[in-house]
Structure 1
Amino acid sequence: MDHQRVIRDVTVRLPMASNAPEACRWTVAALSRHTPATISVLLHVHDRLRCVAATGAWQVYATVPPSAGIVGRVFTTGTAAAVPDVTADPDYLPVRPDVTAELCVPVLDPAGQPIGVLDLQWTEPVDLEPWREAAQQLGVCLGARIVALGGPPAESRSEMLLRHAAALSLAATEPDLLAAAGWAAREVSTLSTAVLLIAEPDGARLGPSAPAPDGLEARIRAELTEAGPSALGRMVRRAHRYGAGYTLGEAGHQPTGDYGPLTRAGVRTLVAVPVGPPDAGGVLLVADERLLGPDPTTVSLLELLAGQAWASLDRLRTLARLREQASSDPLTGLRHTGPFGQRIAAAMPGRTALLAIDVDDFKTVNDTYGHQAGDRVLVGLARALEGALRHGDELYRIGGDEFVAVIEVSRPEEAVRIAERLTEAARRTGRTISVGVALPRPGETPDRTLRRADQALYAVKRHGRDGVHLAAA
């Protein structure tokens, strides 16, 4: 193989390329006439190595993180890699099962900095060293031509939308998601500001702000805050009634009164996009101080973004409900055994008391009136006991008619007084309870403390029920 001829054949047309993707395609096409290797050129676009040209379009990755694979290693280090046995390289990204060898070289700008990689993969035996020297020269020539043409291609709006959609799907909390949606809307639309309004029963509220809100966003938030939830709710309903679109932006025409707070803030262009259903979603307001003409493509991209944001938000809310259901009693809404175990494990000796609570003669209710009547008794008692506790005290249901309260106290007598308040609250519902009180001893396990509280409770049962007993210190 005359590798100098390979270099000439590839580089002869590079000066005629009119843009970077064309230069990459010509390089790949010329190289493919000299080798059966799968060839690809990946350039650094935004935060990924993106495949700009390749042979065998189904045997290459479309994008690769700069930290992944042999291509990522070459881009990060700026050093070529010749791998005669890909199975022996832990960084190899398997694309085809029959690939045996890989050669990857950096595509360098005139200053010697990597702007991408040229990658070749073979499925048959090959002497990599002569190809390595030729590929490195091609990487330098291709890099110089790409820079002369203005550098790697900019990230397209669709690619940008895809990147942000992936980020939204990975958001771990609702505030993170809403903040990511606002940032994505600004980038995709090229408008300066994005504000989310979240629907609530009494109207709507403002979503989280950008990390460092600019002057326009600060003014918008101030005006919307002054306008109040009802005015924000009208904006949400308007967007859901009429759909997404440019609602400001035409000189000499007054906007609808619903958008008065935005015009007072200095907004001259506004895209309002509904998010989710009107009662649970909201509206995405993307604004700018510049007076811009309508762009249907921008609106369409923002609608896609809003759809992804709602899908991700709905997923987070569903997961939160499932977690709440998993950690709470579905009948009374009280937390149950799992969270109770975590709470008493963190109890501070001398500052915490456990109150073991049992409903007196509850079996009689179920046997006489049925389980539905028993459920109503439990729900009524749960609400009454919660109401008798102080702020910060916690009530758990740990069995059929068994409850435990974890309270913060400074003295045993204080714990007894609170237990007596619970018995009084129960009597007002027409039922009675027995309560055993125990304070954790230094070094005592939570299970042992609860056992002593149970023993105190049964002492109440033995003496006629409807009372309180304090376990020995």
Structure 2
Amino acid sequence: MDHERIIRDVTASLPAASTALEACQRAVTALARHTPATISVLLQVHDRLRCVAATGAWQVFATVPPKTGIVGRVHASGETAVVPDVAADPDYLPVRPDVVTEICVPVVDPAGRPVGVLDLQWSAPVDLTPWRVTAERLAGRLGARIMALGGPPAESRSEKLLRHAAALSAAPTEGELVAAAVCAARDVATLSAGVLVLADRDGHRLGTPPHGQFGGVAGIADQADGAVPGELESRIRAELTEAGPGALRAIVERVHRYGAGYTLGEAGQPPTAEYQPLAHAGVRTLVAVPLGPPDRGGVLLVADERLLYPDPTTVSLMELLAGHAWNSLDRLRTLDRLREQAISDPLTGLRHTGPFGKRIAAATPGRTALLAIDVDGFKTVNDTYGHQAGDQLLIGLARALEGALRQGDELYRVGGDEFVAVIEVNRPEEAVRIAERLTEAARRTGRTISVGVALPRPGESAELALRRADQALYAVKRHGRDGVRLAPA
């Protein structure tokens, strides 16, 4: 085989290319005339190797994560890989079942830095020594032509959206999802600010990323990827916060009523009343798209202080992003709801036995007080008025007891009409006073309770301390109910 002719033919095809992608395709096409090998060129696009030209393969890998496969290894190391037997190389990525041999060479820029790889795979034995030299020479000339045409292609907006969608799906919390969504919006729309307005039980609020974290990247400043919000975004959040929930609701209602919208980037055109807070923040370009249903979702706002023209394609991409963000948010909320149901009493909403066991296991001797609480005469209510009336009594009583506790005190339902409060105190007398506040709160509902108080002793298990609290409670019962008793130290 005349390898000099191969080099001349491929080299001659490169000057006619007007883009880096066309240069890669011309090189692959010219090379394929001389060998039955499966040929591909992969260039670095953002954080992955993307196949930009290929021939002779049943299937190619469109993108390859960093350092994955033989191609990733070659790109990371900048060193050619000659693989006489692909079955013996654990990094081989199978393209077709009959491949036996592979040569992968780095495509480098004039400074010798890898910008991609040229990969050849054969299904029959081949003399690899001359092919290595040929592949390396061709890769060098292809790399020079790619750089002369401006370098590897930039990541397209649809490719960006696909990459960000993976970050949205992987977000473990709502805050991190908000961060990932606004980062994606800024990056894909090429605008400087992104804000999510979300509905909740109390109305509408601004979605808030975790402190110091944007776009799912903590502590990493990457303005080109939209990872860091600009000053405009801070002004938008400040203006919307000052305008209040009514302004947020007005924006959500407008966008959900009329659908996605965008500005034309023309000066001298006044915004509608709903968008006045944004104009006050300095917004001159705005894309607004609905997020989920109006009663549970919200709105994605992407903005810039420059007068731009976000074409309909940009709006369509933002609608796709908003749809994916909503699916991810709805999944997180569903998981949170299921977790809460798993650890909470469905009737009263209080935590129940499982979490209570963990809490008392962490009790501090001499500082943690356990208040065993029992509703006086509850069985009579059930027998006389029915279980529905008993349920309503428990719900009302649970709310009253919660209201009488201090911030940080915890109330659990551990049985039918049995509750336990876990509180931190400095002295036993303080625990007794709080227990008396609970009995007063119960009386205001028209019912009475009996409360036993115990503080775990040094070396005493929390279970034994709770048993002493129960014994004190039954001592109250024996002496007429509706009272408090401190278990002996």
2:264–2:310 contact (8 Å) kept in structure 1: no
- The amino acid that maps onto 1:121 is Q
2:166 aligned partner, one-letter code: A
- Given residue 232 of structure 1, which amino acid in structure 2 is its aligned partner? L
User: Within 5 Å, which residues of 2 pair with 1:245-284?
Assistant: 245-247=261-263, 249-284=265-300
Q: Are 1:372 and 2:388 matched, yes or no?
A: yes
User: Is structure 2 residue 296 aligned with structure 1 residue 298?
Assistant: no
2:190 corresponds in structure 1 to 190
Counterpart among 242, 245, 256 of residue 226 in structure 1:
242
Instruction: Check 1:329–1:101 CA distance in 2 against 1; reply closer, same or farther (3 A cut).
Output: farther
* 463 and 294 in structure 1: CA distance in 2 versus 1, 3 angstrom threshold: closer
The 3 A distance-change label for structure 1 pair 294 and 25 is: closer
Relative to 1, partners in 2 of residues 1:393 and 1:71: Cα closer, same or farther, differing over 3 Å? same
Equivalent residue for 1:179?
A: 179
Change (3 A) 1:447 1:131: farther
Query: How many aligned positions are there?
Result: 473
Are residues 1:437 and 2:453 paired? yes
Please name the residue that 2:219 is paired with. Answer: none
Secondary structure of the corresponding residue to residue 15 of structure 1: coil
Moved more, 359-368 or 44-53: 359-368
Match of 1:15 in 2: 15
Q: Structure 1: which amino acid aligns with 2:174?
A: E
The one-letter amino acid paired with 2:13 is R
The one-letter code matched in structure 2 to 1:227 is A
Q: Which sections of structure 2, spanning at least 5 residues, go unmatched?
A: 215-226
1:272 alignment partner, SS class: strand
TM-score by length of 2: 0.88
Partner of residue 331, structure 1: 347
| 1:146/1:359 CA distance change after superposition, 3 Å | same
Q: What is the SS of the residue equivalent to 2:15?
A: helix
Amino acid at match of 1:8: R
Instruction: Give the aligned partner of residue 303 of structure 2.
Output: 287
Which stretch has the larger CA shift, 126-135 or 413-422? 126-135
Q: Which whole-Å CA distance do the structure 2 matches of 1:451 and 1:361 have between them?
A: 21
What residue number does 1:44 align with? 44
Structure 1 unmatched ranges of 5 or more: none
Identify the residue that residue 27 of structure 2 maps to in structure 1: 27
Q: CA deviation at 1:368?
A: 4.2
Q: Taking structure 1 as reference, are residues 84 and 404 closer, same or farther at Cα in structure 2, changes over 3 Å only?
A: farther
Return the letter of the residue paired with 1:395: L
Matched, 1:89 2:74: no
Q: Is the 8 A contact 2:39 2:57 kept in 1?
A: no
- In 1, the alpha carbon distance for the partners of 2:201 and 2:174 equals 18
Larger displacement relative to structure 2 (271-280 or 150-159) = 271-280
Match of 1:343 among 359, 375, 386: 359
Contact in 2 for aligned 1:247/1:255 (Cα 8 Å): no
Moved more, 198-207 or 366-375: 198-207
Aligned-residue RMSD, C-alpha: 2.6
Q: Which amino acid aligns with 2:240?
A: L
- Map of 1:384 onto structure 2: 400
| Contact 2:192-2:229 within 8 A present in 1 as well | no
Q: How does 1:72-221 map to 2 (within 5 A)?
A: 72-199=72-199, 204-208=204-208, 213-221=229-237
Question: 1:41–1:51: 8 Å Cα contact kept in structure 2?
Answer: yes
Matched, 1:354 2:370: yes
460-469 or 104-113, which deviates more? 460-469
CA displacement, residues 259-315 of structure 1 (integer Å, 9 cap, x when unaligned): 223333332222222222222222222222332345111111111111112222222
Name 1:468's counterpart in structure 2: 484
- Tell me how far apart the structure 2 counterparts of residues 318 and 468 of structure 1 sit (CA, whole Å): 41
Aligned-pair distance for 1:421? 2.8
Deviation for aligned residue 1:147:
0.8
Give the whole-Å Cα distance in 1 for the aligned partners of 2:478 and 2:35: 92
Q: Greater shift after overlay, 252-261 or 185-194?
A: 252-261
